[in-house]
Amino acid sequence: MAETLHMIEVGDAIPEYTTKPISRTTLALFAGASGDHNPIHIDSDFAKKAGMDDVFAQGMLPMAYLGRLLTDWVPQTAIRKFSCRFSAITHLGEKITCSGKITEKWEDGGETFVKLALTAANDAGEVKLAGAAVVALPAKS
């Protein structure tokens, strides 16, 4: 695998990750895992009183999915930087597809690094998060 990773070039995509549809259970479990118990994400009545049609995902949920995209591709220890910008609300029932594309590749101090442009989007192509990551590729074997 290390040799394959070193063959990647600017413009290459990494394998996508697609979630199951976001459910109320997903939101409740993520609330417990993340500590984000804001009722707008888990209480329909509260969300409707706040002017929303229903509850919606915590912003960090699609970011967690982008993190999974990265850790499905490389070990967690290889991730040097990871950042995101929130673009749109993630609604119940949406499946999120996470993708990444190599935008830079360089060597520094004997290590090879790549920078990726990341997106998390629904089936309609609406981007929920846009981000970037820097990953250190494993040493050639």
pLDDT digits (tens, 9 = 90+) for 107-134: 999 899 999 999 999 999 999 999 999 9
Structural domain span for residue 74: 1-140
**How many whole angstroms separate alpha carbon 74 and alpha carbon 8?**
13
User: Phi-psi region for residue 123, left (φ > 0), alpha (ψ -120 to 50) or beta?
Assistant: alpha
Q: Per the structure, how many domains does the chain have?
A: 1
In CATH, what number is assigned to the domain containing residue 10?
3.10.129.10
Question: Comparing 58 with 7, which gets the higher pLDDT?
Answer: 58
pLDDT at 92 over 90: yes
Is residue 58 predicted with pLDDT exceeding 90?
A: yes
Indicate the pTM of the whole model. Answer: 0.91
